[in-house]
């Protein structure tokens, strides 16, 4: 299962996995209309709309997954809080492997205007 599949990194991960014949369940936010959603379906991914705030929905999406790959990006609400809920859901669903996203930047440390 791949969270963040419509982002730049996540989409690249999905493409690489699908090229290698992996079964990919791509989690996307409800109502996501990015062109990557249609492309993921065309490439053979199972696209599942799920609310990152719902551990119950995330747990259901994680069912039967061999691994959860998180390519989530964003601010604290996504990178820390959302990814924590995703991890909790993976544990609840009995997923044996979790690969977290740690590609982020501490925006408050930047001096930009």
User: Mind listing the domains of the chain with CATH numbers?
Assistant: 2-109 (3.40.50.720)
- Average of pLDDT values for 93-105? 83
Question: For 13-63, what is each residue's pLDDT tens digit?
Answer: 999 999 999 999 999 999 999 999 999 999 999 999 999 999 999 999 999
pLDDT, position 13: 95
| Alpha helix positions (H), 8-69 | 8-19, 35-43, 55-62
Instruction: Please tell me what DSSP assigns to residue 26.
Output: E
In Å, the largest CA–CA distance within the chain is 46
Q: Tell me if 29 sits within 8 A of 21, measured CB to CB.
A: no
Q: Answer whether residue 110 shows pLDDT above 80.
A: no
């Amino acid at each position: 299962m791949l969270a963040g599949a419509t982002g730049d990194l996540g989409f690249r991960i999905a493409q690489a996995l699908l090229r290698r014949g992996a079964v990919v369940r791509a989690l996307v936010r409800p109502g996501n209309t990015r062109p990557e959603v249609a492309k993921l379906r065309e490439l053979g991914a199972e696209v599942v709309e799920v609310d990152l705030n719902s551990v119950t929905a995330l747990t259901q999406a994680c069912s039967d997954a061999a691994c959860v790959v998180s390519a989530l990006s964003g601010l604290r609400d996504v990178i820390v809080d959302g990814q924590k809920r995703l991890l909790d859901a993976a544990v609840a669903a009995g997923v044996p492997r979790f690969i977290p996203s740690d590609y982020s930047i501490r925006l408050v440390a930047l001096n930009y205007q």
